[in-house]
């Protein structure tokens, strides 16, 4: 079984339904987001996470933002007012998490779609504008589903019979609207009858590998072994890891890739142990406006994620804590980037530009 992370229910006055990933694997609970504030909170608190999923959820969040009423005057058929609400909704949602590029790309698509509609139909009703925004959000969602399937199809050849695969964080169905990015590669190899082991790092913050990836792979009846993050290098030296496959939240023009903290270390260990290191990500994750990973903003997480384990304090009170959510893997450490359009071997700026077909 592959989980359906998110779903829009109803028409323009509908709502967004999400799996609350904060409560997995202990409880399977769905959230119903009926306003934009609930969507913001879901993204901010990691009830929904993963760059592709956040992008889709952000687009639907704008739909919810446009359900708001013009207080004191009721809902008006005023396109200018509708565009103003849309712009404020996009700005608000963009402030939820800074690192992944999919959110900003999805919000920009919704904004451009709305502006294009208003330019082509200046006398239209506000209702029609809202329908345009929902249609664009639905399109972004379906494209993500299709991209996930293609990523898996393009990457499954890298998983051989009897292999040991290491993955970090969660890049499965829970991180997307479809069947995942890195885990899509694994799912597609599994569908083709191959037998292999998947080693899963527990992954900070919030142990997303232990809680989410291990759960997803078990649900799909794939052989999964959970390890602590600092065990990966030793497994590589023992010859138990044949490939590392992770996702990415943003990939720059030169091929540097931001992913959950600890990914960079894995890439160095893999290179030192002659283990192929693959990134699996949709083409929407590339941000060609940024030249290198040094320019990617890195989200800082709350200190209490390190200070406490559940409700129990595990660090001295008052100790300084540094808790970045992401790091950046240098392109030179990446064997290949697997996308919905194909595979970029030994990525660099020229190969990426050619792969994407145009500057973004």
* pLDDT reported for residue 310: 83
> Domains in the chain, please, with CATH?
6-150 (1.20.120.420), 156-356 (3.40.50.10470)
* pLDDT reported for residue 168: 97
Does residue 95 register a pLDDT over 90? yes
Locate all alpha helices (DSSP H) within the chain, ordered by sequence. 36-44, 51-65, 79-94, 102-120, 126-155, 182-191, 208, 214-219, 232-237, 263-272, 304-307, 349-356
Bigger pLDDT: 338 or 305?
338
* pLDDT reported for residue 102: 86
d(Cα 38, Cα 60) in Å, to the nearest integer?
12
| pLDDT band with cut points at 50, 70 and 90 for residue 360 | very low
* pLDDT reported for residue 1: 65
Percent of the chain residues past pLDDT 70, beyond the cut: 96
Give 21-38 pLDDT, tens digit per residue.
999 999 999 999 999 999
Mean pLDDT of the chain: 93
What values do phi and psi take at 278, rounded to 5?
A: -115, 140
Does residue 263 register a pLDDT over 50? yes
Give 203-257 pLDDT, tens digit per residue.
988 899 999 999 999 999 999 999 999 999 999 999 999 999 999 999 999 999 9
For residue 87, the SS3 value is helix
On the question of a cis peptide bond just before residue 25, with omega within 30 degrees of 0, the verdict is yes
Instruction: Give the DSSP letter string of 234-281.
Output: HHHHTT--SEEEE--SEEETTS-EEEETTHHHHHHHHHHTT--EEEE-
Q: Is 249 a catalytic residue?
A: yes
Mean pLDDT of 334-346: 97
Bigger pLDDT: 318 or 284?
318
Give 174-186 pLDDT, tens digit per residue.
999 999 999 999 9
* pLDDT reported for residue 70: 55
Mean pLDDT of 304-326: 93
- Selected catalytic residue, list 144, 201, 229, 249: 249
């Amino acid at each position: 079984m592959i989980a359906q992370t998110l779903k829009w229910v109803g028409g323009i006055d509908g709502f967004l339904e999400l799996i609350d990933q904060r409560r997995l694997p202990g409880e399977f609970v769905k959230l119903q987001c009926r306003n934009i504030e609930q969507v913001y909170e879901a993204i901010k608190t990691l009830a929904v996470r993963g760059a592709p999923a956040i992008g889709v959820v952000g687009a639907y969040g704008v739909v919810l933002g446009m359900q708001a009423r013009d207080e004191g005057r009721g809902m008006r058929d005023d396109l200018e007012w509708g565009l103003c609400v849309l712009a404020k909704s996009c700005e608000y949602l963009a402030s939820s998490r800074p690192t992944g590029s999919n959110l900003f790309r999805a919000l920009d698509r919704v904004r451009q779609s709305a502006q294009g509609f208003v330019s082509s139909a200046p006398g239209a009703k506000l209702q029609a504008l809202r329908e345009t925004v929902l249609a664009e959000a639905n399109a972004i969602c379906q494209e993500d589903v299709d991209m996930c399937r293609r990523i898996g199809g393009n990457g499954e050849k890298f998983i051989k019979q009897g292999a040991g695969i290491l993955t970090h964080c969660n890049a499965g169905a829970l991180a997307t609207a479809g069947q995942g990015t890195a885990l899509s590669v694994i799912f597609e190899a599994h569908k083709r009858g191959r037998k292999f082991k998947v080693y899963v790092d527990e992954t900070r913050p919030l142990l997303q590998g232990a809680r989410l990836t291990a759960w997803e792979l078990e649900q799909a009846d794939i052989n999964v072994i959970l390890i602590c993050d600092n065990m990966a290098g030793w497994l590589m030296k023992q010859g138990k890891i044949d490939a590392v496959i992770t996702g990415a939240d943003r990939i720059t023009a030169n091929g540097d890739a931001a992913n959950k903290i600890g990914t960079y270390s894995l890439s160095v260990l893999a290179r030192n142990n002659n283990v192929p290191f693959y990134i699996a990500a949709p083409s929407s994750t590339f941000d060609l406006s940024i030249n290198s990973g040094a320019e990617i903003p890195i989200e800082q997480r709350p200190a209490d994620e390190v200070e406490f384990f559940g409700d129990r304090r595990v660090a001295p009170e008052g100790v300084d804590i540094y808790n970045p959510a992401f790091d950046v893997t240098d392109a030179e450490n990446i064997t290949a980037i697997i996308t919905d359009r194909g595979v970029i071997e030994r990525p660099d700026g020229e190969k990426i530009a050619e792969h994407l077909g145009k500057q973004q």
